[in-house]
Each structure stands twice: as structure tokens, then as C-alpha cells.
Amino acid sequence: MKRELLKGNTPTLILSVLASGPRHGYGIAREIERRSSEALKLGEGSLYPALRLLEVEGLVVGGWEVQPSGPARKVYALTDAGREALAARTRSWREFARAMESVLGGTPDAQPA
């Protein structure tokens, strides 16, 4: 179940991390783990396809960064459209979370005997 929740929210998590500045894929994954106290872990099989889709949608832009030693790595940054999408996704998530909490934490109606 946790995997399904993560899968549906991977783009939002990525956008949220990139809101604090550009990062390469590995850095995005580690930051999600750090922020979630290691509860959420993204593997390459879900991270990179999500990043490619976000690029196609124009929500992130990727560029190659040359390293002083070692191979170049692709760094991703949020676009203006990505910031707008993150704001909309954040609002939607918070509304959903409030609704879920109302149901989960609510008092059941008294049932007739």
C-alpha cells in the first residue's frame, strides 16, 4: 500500500525537493529520504521515469553539469510552471489529507439498536 501511495505522489515529492534548488537525481532521492526520516525511498526505477515525465510536461528542466573529476551528471531545476504545479498539488494534497483525517479520526454516527 505504501508503494502505491508513493508511486502516485512521486512527482509532487520531486517538485517539492526541487523548490529548494537544483539537484541531480541521486540528491533528489536522498533528500526525500531525509525529509521523510527514511520512511520514503525512491529507487532509480521510479525516480528517473518521473523526472523524464516532469521534463516532458515542462515542470522541470535538466542540464548536464561537468564535474572536476568523474562523469558529468544531469541536474534538474524547477520551472515557473513547475512552481505553479507544486502549489496546486500541495493544495490538493492538503485538502485530501484533511478529508482523510476527518473520516479516520471522526466519531462514527450512533447506530439505532
- Among residues 68, 2, 74, the alpha carbon closest in space to that of 44 is found at 74
Eight-state DSSP code of residue 86:
H
Predicted confidence at residue 94, as pLDDT, reads 93
Predicted confidence at residue 45, as pLDDT, reads 87
CA–CA dist 32, 10 (Å, integer): 10
Domain 2-95 has CATH 1.10.10.10: yes
- Residues of the chain scoring pLDDT < 50: none
pTM value is 0.85
CA–CA dist 7, 42 (Å, integer): 9
Average pLDDT score over the chain: 90
| Numbers of helices and strands, H then E, in the chain | 4, 3
